[in-house]
Structure 1
């Protein structure tokens, strides 16, 4: 019986080399993609974009017109390979996902997605009001009615205990 292990190992080696040397295209989420912070913003929020796709030129022009925003400039960031820019989401922006495009000054283009929601991405909404589950709450929150209900339950518990005690002693009900 023949084995094909040498051919399989050779094929795997070729595939590994091909994967490590394959070009990375901007905008596909790999190295050099456009990072959008926050990725989920509300109308009026300031959004920061960051990319390493512009390489040594480290600059470019951004386009936020899909969301109704203006063009913005990317400048070298804190890290040597970064290009960073900012723009404001217009207060008239509708909820949805929008594509932000950056054209690098040395050529090339990179894209990223911005999600616009109704509420602020930084503030948490706290629930208010009562939960309508259909269970309980028949007496409401009136303290007098609540006390009367508790008293009725206590009398019923005491009466049931007394009846069980009589039956256990053989006195009947």
Structure 2
């Protein structure tokens, strides 16, 4: 019985140490900033990282998006401590989150996530949930609704005043 407790305690200790060690390795990666994010399929995104050092460069694998390899560089940039580049998300890319990653010339690994939305924008009338659309509303309906609200407010004021006049609270 006692050996079971010792083994259970040891197993839990090892598990706890293993869970605390994972974030140490995750922190070793630099970050790729993506803008705009989310992006529509068929549009371009800008990639930026400050983890490659001054006058650095990086090669980023964006094959999860179907965009191949992208080179980030600080050449021609105002801020030479950042590497920058862009890529076009193929129009055929399905909505979802896509991980991209690469390696800087200084050996630092960088990662980021591109969130892709559907490439089409909604067209047509907005459904209001009341059987009509926002474009079907006319001035008469708006005035009728305002009249109902005004009548309700007036009735409420009348009820409050009537109670006070009667002496009831």
Q: How far off is 1:57 after superposition?
A: 5.0
Unmatched tracts of structure 1, length 5 or more: 1-21, 28-32, 151-173
Q: TM-score, normalised by structure 2?
A: 0.55
| CA displacement at 1:119 relative to structure 2 | 4.0
Which residue does the alignment assign to 2:103?
103
Kept after mapping to 2: 8 A contact 1:70/1:87: no
Checking the alignment, whether the CA contact within 8 Å between 1:74 and 1:85 is kept in structure 2 is yes
Q: Could you say if the C-alpha distance between residues 60 and 132 of structure 1 is closer, same or farther in structure 2, counting changes exceeding 3 Å?
A: closer
Question: Distance in 1 between the 2:59 and 2:109 partners?
Answer: 10
Q: Deviations over 1:141-172 (max 9, x none)?
A: 8xxxx8xxx9xxxxxxxxxxxxxxxxxxxxxx
Q: Which structure's CA Rg is the greater one? A: 1
1:52 aligns with 2:80: no
Q: Distance in 2 between matches of 1:84 and 1:103?
A: 13
CA deviation string 1:38-90 (max 9, x = no partner)? 11111111111100111135101111111111111111032121000111101
* Displaced runs of 4 or more, over 2 A: 24-27, 129-134
Measure, in 1, the Cα distance between the counterparts of 2:87 and 2:127.
40
What root-mean-square deviation, in Å, do the aligned CA atoms of Structure 1 and Structure 2 show? 3.4
Gaps of 5+ in 2: 1-23, 145-169
TM-score, normalising length: structure 1: 0.54
Counterpart for residue 82 of structure 2: 82
Is the contact between residue 66 and residue 98 of structure 1 (CA under 8 Å) also seen in structure 2? yes
Q: Deviations for 1:69-115, whole angstroms, at most 9, x for unmatched residues?
A: 11111110321210001111011100000011121012121101110
**Aligned residue pair count:** 112
